[in-house]
A and B are shown apart, each in its own frame.
Chain A
Amino acid sequence: MKKLNDILARVLEISNESITDETSPASVPSWDSFNGLMLVSELEREFNVHFTMEEVVAVKNVKDIKEALQRHGVKDE
């Protein structure tokens, strides 16, 4: 998911190459609750989807984001 990685890199100010499925708030200091919600806002805008509070809270790492996007019909490219 190139678009997802681009957004993660831009919002969290990290390099694209460093992003894996396991990348998480625990491994990226700039991924705090503020940036977490910034990320959700960006993803919703980019993919034209809407996440509930439960979905947002449930996300623990990049893999969870991918799965949530797929549930909303976003195709893995």
Chain B
Amino acid sequence: MNSTAQPNCLRYEDIKGGDSYSFTRIITAADIMSFAQLTGDHNPLHVDNAAAHQSPFGKNIAHGMLAGSLFSTLVGMHCPGRNALYLSQTLSFRSPIFPGDAITIKGTVREKNDSIRMITLKTEIINGDKVAVEGTAQVKVLDSGQEPQQADTQKNVHQIPRQRRIVLIVGGTGGIGSAIAVKCAEHEQDAIYVSYAQHEKKALELQKKWQNIVPMQCDLRSRESIKQMIESIVQREGKIDVLVNAAAASLKLQQFSQLKDEDIEEDIDVSLKGMLYACKYTMPHMTAGKSGIIINLISSIVFQDTPTARMSSYTIAKYGVLGLTKAVAHEAKAVGVKVVGIAPSFVDTDFIKNLPPKLLEFEKEKSPSKRLLQSEDIAKVIIKIIENPDAYAAGEVIKIESAAR
């Protein structure tokens, strides 16, 4: 460590959205031992060669937090450097870092909040062709010469005051939608509206168990039906704070050439147009109150070079939802509404029950936890977004790749 190194001294005005800052360093076995000494984390996975040999990684790996701590260096030395007041940092550990790996620590400016002179950085640690650690940093940029003081993050424009929250989950009886509904319903003062098409039984079960879940019958293939549902919620509650678009028509699992026209239309109508109109009709009620969050369920399939076979109409619809999320995010941001997407890999629900078992086995093997994503994993991410929308950039698509251990 070189304690005489001079930090950068960027001013808030010097930092532009989209700018990125990075530095590279090699993680050594000595670094790992020092970190273990410093923190008292002597877990064998990090410090015991023989034990690590038996682990899924086959050798010692660096502490995730050792790598994560380099974001402090990024913020304190590179962007903004001397004027930094580090407010928050999220971390996801995606893949292992081994002694000897040369890693690049990178921060990209995602958002600037002029009123409180705060920047949001997407922070990543890149190891070879993989992202080993990723997260989001929030940093206040002090005036040069200004003494650090307690930051006021409460002024943030997207923050929904913690009063009764009105949540609408479109597709709220599906595997993922219902898990989200249940997780949201844990906040008893909130009202959780769930739309359903045919699954009335499931909707009523949810309502029976959770008094604050309200089922709404809605045909997503009909614009009128979507509009009526939203108007009736707003009539009753005066607002909608959060819209979660989680509906999808069932997978057809046919080659493109074999798909029936009606099947293609169902995917486009339910999975794309349904979401589109739910956004369109909900947004005016959010902009009136100048706050709101819209979360669209996309899929990791939009990031695959070769999307999984026999899912073409689903893939087309999800690309549409990706476009929708990106296209409206900035217009929405201007009126205080945060629009983001989430892109999970396969989630262990009935939705994927007809996929080849071997495909799901390989999917599990790829995951560090050796499990498929569970719908509860998705629900937790949704709650994180609702609780702290400012941690995410407008139009950001949050990838969810591996199940919680």
Query: Which residues of A approach B to under 8 Å, CB–CB?
Result: 29-30, 32-35, 37-38, 40-41, 44, 51, 53, 56
- CB-based contact A30/B255 at 8 Å: yes
- CB-based contact B362/A53 at 8 Å: yes
Segment of B186-194, B266-274, B316-324, B351-359 engaged in the interface with chain A = B351-359
List 7 A-B pairs, minimum CB-CB distance, nearest first: A37-B356, A34-B309, A37-B358, A32-B309, A38-B356, A34-B310, A41-B357
Closest to A51 in B: B358
Chain B residue numbers with a CB within 8 Å of A44 are: 358
- CB-based contact A32/B358 at 8 Å: no
Name the one of B255, B357, B362, B365 contacting A32, with C-beta atoms under 8 angstroms: B255
Residue pairs across A and B with Cβ atoms less than 8 A apart, 16 shown, are A29-B255, A30-B255, A32-B309, A33-B308, A34-B253, A34-B356, A35-B309, A37-B356, A37-B358, A37-B362, A38-B356, A38-B358, A40-B356, A41-B357, A41-B358, A44-B358
Q: How far is the CB of B360 from chain A (nearest CB, A)?
A: 9
Cα distance A40–B253 in the bound complex, in angstroms: 17
Cα distance A53–B364 in the bound complex, in angstroms: 12
Cα distance A30–B310 in the bound complex, in angstroms: 10
- CB-based contact A40/B309 at 8 Å: no
- CB-based contact A53/B365 at 8 Å: yes
- Within 337-356 of B, Cβ neighbours of A (below 8 Å) are at 355-356
Q: A29-B255, A38-B358, A41-B358 are in contact. List 6 more A-B contacts (CB 8 A).
A: A29-B257, A33-B306, A34-B253, A34-B310, A34-B355, A53-B365
Chain B residue numbers with a CB within 8 Å of A30 are: 255
Chain A residue numbers with a CB within 8 Å of B253 are: 34
Q: How far is the CB of B107 from chain A (nearest CB, A)?
A: 35
Cα distance A30–B254 in the bound complex, in angstroms: 10
- Within 221-256 of B, Cβ neighbours of A (below 8 Å) are at 253, 255
Chain B residue numbers with a CB within 8 Å of A32 are: 255, 309-310
Cα distance A44–B358 in the bound complex, in angstroms: 9
Q: How far is the CB of B147 from chain A (nearest CB, A)?
A: 57
- CB-based contact B308/A40 at 8 Å: no
Given the known inter-chain contacts A32-B309, A33-B308, A34-B310, please indicate yes or no for A56 contacting B358, CB distance below 8 A: yes
- CB-based contact B356/A41 at 8 Å: yes
Chain B residue numbers with a CB within 8 Å of A51 are: 358
Chain A residue numbers with a CB within 8 Å of B355 are: 34
**Max chain A CB contacts within 10 Å: which of B309, B356, B362, B365?**
B356
Cα distance A59–B228 in the bound complex, in angstroms: 54
Chain B residue numbers with a CB within 8 Å of A29 are: 255, 257
Q: How far is the CB of B251 from chain A (nearest CB, A)?
A: 11
Chain A residue numbers with a CB within 8 Å of B365 are: 53
Cα distance A44–B273 in the bound complex, in angstroms: 41
Chain A residue numbers with a CB within 8 Å of B306 are: 33
- CB-based contact B309/A33 at 8 Å: yes
Cα distance A44–B360 in the bound complex, in angstroms: 14
Chain A residue numbers with a CB within 8 Å of B357 are: 41
- CB-based contact B359/A37 at 8 Å: yes
Cα distance A32–B256 in the bound complex, in angstroms: 11
- Within 361-380 of B, Cβ neighbours of A (below 8 Å) are at 362, 365
Chain B residue numbers with a CB within 8 Å of A34 are: 253, 308-310, 355-356, 359
Closest to A32 in B: B309
- CB-based contact B310/A40 at 8 Å: no
Chain B residue numbers with a CB within 8 Å of A41 are: 356-358
Q: How far is the CB of B63 from chain A (nearest CB, A)?
A: 29
Q: How far is the CB of A72 from chain B (nearest CB, A)?
A: 15
Cα distance A32–B255 in the bound complex, in angstroms: 9
Cα distance A30–B309 in the bound complex, in angstroms: 11
Cα distance A65–B309 in the bound complex, in angstroms: 21
Cα distance A33–B255 in the bound complex, in angstroms: 11
Cα distance A25–B306 in the bound complex, in angstroms: 16
Chain A residue numbers with a CB within 8 Å of B308 are: 33-34
Cα distance A40–B358 in the bound complex, in angstroms: 7
Cα distance A59–B358 in the bound complex, in angstroms: 15
Cα distance A33–B253 in the bound complex, in angstroms: 12
Chain B residue numbers with a CB within 8 Å of A38 are: 356, 358
Cα distance A44–B359 in the bound complex, in angstroms: 13
Cα distance A67–B312 in the bound complex, in angstroms: 33
- Within 289-345 of B, Cβ neighbours of A (below 8 Å) are at 306, 308-310
Cα distance A45–B133 in the bound complex, in angstroms: 38
